[in-house]
Amino acid sequence: MTIEGMTSGFSGVAAPGNRPLLSGAAIENGFAAFVRAGTTVETKALSSASDAAGGHAVPEAIDTLIESTLKSASPIRAIAQVVQVGGAGYRKLVTNGGTPSGWAGETAARPETATPTFNEIVPPMGELYANPAASQAMLDDAAFDVEGWLAGEIASEFARAEGQAFVSGNGVARPKGFLSYPTSAVGDATRAFGTMQYLASGAAADFGTEPENRLIDLVHLLRRPYRQGACWVMNAQTAARIRKFKTADGAFLWVPGLIEGRPDTLLGYPVVEAEDMPDIAAGNSAIAFGNFKAGYLIAERAETQVLRDPYSNKPFVHFYATRRVGGAVINSEAIKLMKFAVS
């Protein structure tokens, strides 16, 4: 049905010329009608049109709410590089080694120098989905905030799944987390591309002697170009442990962000709490430090697709939401790990 034919469905909210408004109440009322009764609506605010099977795109207002909730619940999304893709796959070329140069006298020969090595990064992608349900009687209640409930349910499920996948996902029909890559204690100059460098804590399942010095060592394991914009990533239990560390003169390493909007800092770098990071235990990489904008890539489709299904489980109406998301480490030099081990 065209926009012109839907005027009566917007409760009399119409623009001059008997055309419905394309923002504000008209959009909300139109999507509410779709959620409650399955009415097909087409407006300019929709990211894509519905198909014959009942597919429908989330309006811009709801998609924005989902994105905002994801960033607060899945912190890796907020600190990583995020790109929008139009298809199922995404590829990125990364060079390592740089372009070598040499010195020569005024009349000396200029031998050919080596060329950089190209590596192709293909972030593993999967389809993230949620399938909340509500009874038709509840959807018929005019006082019920259908849009808010739908956005909250989808965002909660997506955030939980994303948070785990970006940290430790295995890359099979889902993103590959930065803790799922091979690790080595070898430095950047000789370590294989795609292998993460770790620093041993000095004890099998704990910090060794002078733990504050190990944290300083981890900071300086990251080369200077990457330290600009770097941050710490750890879970709440690890953060609580580190907050008690002091220097030899009694000063705390951890500085709380007392001003609203300012994060806590450790050794001058912001701390991001990610509950999917492992606890301190033997063999666990419980602390990450690095520039995640340079080191980790999230590739996703822009739209969240919602399919309304009132038939499969009567009297409940299911809202099957999907979103394609991928993730991978694109620069293994930009993120360092602390592994709880003797060496």
CA proximity to 317, closest of 99, 114, 127, 34: 34
Look at the block and give the residue holding tokens 């030099």. Answer: 333
Q: How many angstroms separate the first and last alpha carbons of the chain? A: 67
CA proximity to 294, closest of 250, 326, 332: 332
Question: Is-contact 34 289, C-beta < 8 A?
Answer: no
Question: Is-contact 70 155, C-beta < 8 A?
Answer: yes
CA proximity to 181, closest of 342, 334, 340, 328: 328
pLDDT at res. 31: 59
Q: Which residues contact 105 (CB under 8 A, 6 or more apart)?
A: none
Chain mean position to CA 4: 40
In this prediction, the residues of the chain whose per-residue pLDDT falls under 70 are 1-62, 72, 88-89, 97-98, 142-144, 147
CA proximity to 286, closest of 244, 236, 327: 236
d(CA 244, CA 105): 58
pLDDT at res. 41: 45
CA proximity to 319, closest of 133, 60, 89, 136: 133
The pLDDT tens digits for 104-152 are 888 899 888 877 777 788 899 999 888 888 888 777 775 667 767 777 8
The pLDDT tens digits for 43-53 are 443 333 344 43
Helix 25-37, helix 60-73: angle, nearest 10: 80
Residue 205 per-residue DSSP state? S
